[in-house]
Structure 1
Amino acid sequence: MREVVGVDGSEPALEAVRWAAVDAWLHRRSLRLVCAVPQAPEPAGPGLDEIKAERPRWLSEAVTAARAAAKGMEFEQVLRHGMPGEVLLDESQEAERLVVGTRGLNEVTGVRLALGSTAELVAMRSRCPVVVVPDSAGREDARTGPVIVGVDGSRVGEPALGAAYEEASLRGAPLVAVHVWSDVATDEWFGPGSADWEAIRVDQERVLAERLAGWEAKYPDVSVERVVARDRPVRFLVEHGAGAQLIVVGSRGRGGITGMLIGSTSRALLHCAPCPVLVVRAP
């Protein structure tokens, strides 16, 4: 079993490497550090040769960072030709987990990019679970806080629940199971202002309890806090993720469309979550 992490010479990528090294150690996996060498268009873009020549140095820096984060581990380092997103998607076919930073460097210009390129691409199309690691992942509470899982009440969310319990157990962390409903969604059924919020809350607490029942028996060592709230899911998870070490979400929710590998909540979290986000693909 192996974990794969993308390397692109940026500090966010090095933060992702450090996180992946510890994560691979916890899961007893090997770690494969992958750096893509883009094929040059004709004519070659400005500085492309220089950027290509830097790849071995980027890998060397990544190995140093990984060894400092998880001493005693062996790391495989690989240079592969192709665009970063496509290379990592190919790697995902045989990986247990794929880890990327939230921001990276443009493959040709070397300009730092916001999320929306490689990280979003692999989160949407990866064949294995993906962790997107923000710049702030190295802070102290990122290693000691709880694991948070978003529970939407559907069966397609079961893989995410299982992954969240496993992460909490391995890390010796409490688990916060969050089930959030929106007044916008409720108004679609009952009409604006007509909903009985107390009755809805009781019903949603029942839904959450049912979804957790089997997992609590399987992981008796995990302390679970149940949270049911009327809020927008992304806003609530971002606010409460500030002190967490990991947020776990499914790739599709109840409103997921067949063929779409990542839903709107998961996608939005990748842009703004204050801690690493694990996206677990639904079957």
Structure 2
Amino acid sequence: MTIPIGHTNTVVVGVDGSASSQRAVRWAAAEVARRAATLRIVHAELPLPADALDLSGMARHALHDEAMRWVRSAIAAAEDTAPGLDVQVRVEVGSAARLLDQESKTSALVVVGSRGLGGFTGLLLGSVAVALSCHAKCPVVVVRGDDPASDGPVVVGLNGAPENWYVVDRAFEEAEARDVELVAVHVWQPPLRTARIAESVGIVWSELDAGREALVAQRLEACADRHPGVEVKKYVVHGSAAQRLAEFSEGASLLVVGSRGTGGLTGMVLGSTSQALVRHAPCPVLLLRPGLAEQMDVAQTVF
């Protein structure tokens, strides 16, 4: 996998005892086995309320015991998925988002479930996923889907921004590592909503689509040379970016998107799109922030 400069070949997974986090652990374990990396299981124990009386420490001890049960369950799930993994554990009292953000500063990838237990006894992994998509210092995977496909294609959302290259390149890398095809999708919303108005001002949708298809081909060709064995299918479609990407991701092994994009006629609004996909995509979602591009440009790649 592409590792940002100064980071280690470690995959971090956040756990909270929920079924969603168990799926995240299994996904992360399979990824670690595929990439010959280290798995780091992280749990953030919630602090006691400021007005809680725990003079004997029994409440804190009970929460810690529960946390360790969840961690042991996560270790068992990881070893069942990929025996012989190198597994590390970190358990601390604090904010889940803050703890995982700290881990992202030195890790190759952070993996979380799409929903947590919530309330006092667990992490709100849904909100944590959103926070990490905005602030993490390495790529983030939100594991969605009850039973993510392992042999489905990798789908990537393309926008019109020049800096979108690193999203496309990472999607090629993920497809190559899985030995599956890459499905590249560019979604745009025509500025005029009716064909009659469009015709009256001389707009020909097929010509606009052709221009965007040329742009997509250019983006893909720039990365395809580094990944010659990857079969690529490309689509230029109209509509809501989140909705269309979710449709193309049915049966996919992974959906790759940037966490922010450009709006208007020049591209998709991947800020809002990525947030919608974190909540509704039918497969795991790999989120890449624009700030990672410079680190990943000169990063080492481990296969």
Scaled by the length of structure 2, what TM-score is found?
0.83
Give the one of 56, 61, 82 matched to 2:73: 61
Give the one of 111, 115, 130 matched to 1:120: 130
Deviation at 1:45, TM superposition (A): 9.2
Give the one of 180, 183, 186 matched to 1:179: 186
Secondary structure at the aligned position of 1:210 is classed as helix
Deviation at 1:48, TM superposition (A): 5.6
CA distance in 2, matches of 1:80, 1:95: 18
CA distance in 2, matches of 1:15, 1:153: 34
Partners of 1:38 and 1:107 within 8 A in 2: no
Report the CA distance shift for 1:77/1:187 in structure 2 as closer, same or farther (over 3 A): same
CA distance in 2, matches of 1:33, 1:192: 56
Secondary structure at the aligned position of 2:249 is classed as helix
Report the CA distance shift for 1:48/1:238 in structure 2 as closer, same or farther (over 3 A): farther
Within 5 Å, which residues of 2 pair with 1:130-145?
130-136=140-146, 138-139=147-148, 142-145=149-152
CA distance in 2, matches of 1:155, 1:73: 38
Partners of 1:21 and 1:70 within 8 A in 2: yes
Q: Which residue is 1:203 aligned to?
A: 211
Q: Which residue is 1:166 aligned to?
A: 173
* 2:235 matches 1:227: yes
Higher alpha-carbon Rg: 2
Scaled by the length of structure 1, what TM-score is found?
0.89
CA distance in 1, matches of 2:173, 2:52: 47
Give structure 2 stretches of 5+ with no counterpart: 1-8, 265-269, 292-303
What do residues 212-271 of structure 1 show as CA deviations (whole Å, max 9, x unaligned)?
A: 112111101100001111121111111111110100001221249xxxxx7111111111
CA distance in 1, matches of 2:153, 2:271: 24
What do residues 130-155 of structure 1 show as CA deviations (whole Å, max 9, x unaligned)?
A: 0000242x24xx11110000010212
What do residues 32-56 of structure 1 show as CA deviations (whole Å, max 9, x unaligned)?
A: 0001112212223999643332011
* 2:283 matches 1:275: yes
Partners of 1:36 and 1:83 within 8 A in 2: yes
Secondary structure at the aligned position of 1:80 is classed as strand
What do residues 84-122 of structure 1 show as CA deviations (whole Å, max 9, x unaligned)?
A: 111111111111110000001226145x8583x211111
Q: Which residue is 1:100 aligned to?
A: 112
CA distance in 2, matches of 1:60, 1:81: 17
CA distance in 1, matches of 2:143, 2:238: 28
Give structure 1 stretches of 5+ with no counterpart: 257-261
Deviation at 1:179, TM superposition (A): 0.9
Give the one of 152, 164, 183 matched to 1:157: 164
Give the one of 8, 15, 38 matched to 1:7: 15
Within 5 Å, which residues of 2 pair with 1:231-270?
231-255=239-263, 263-270=271-278
* AA in 1 matched with 2:110: L
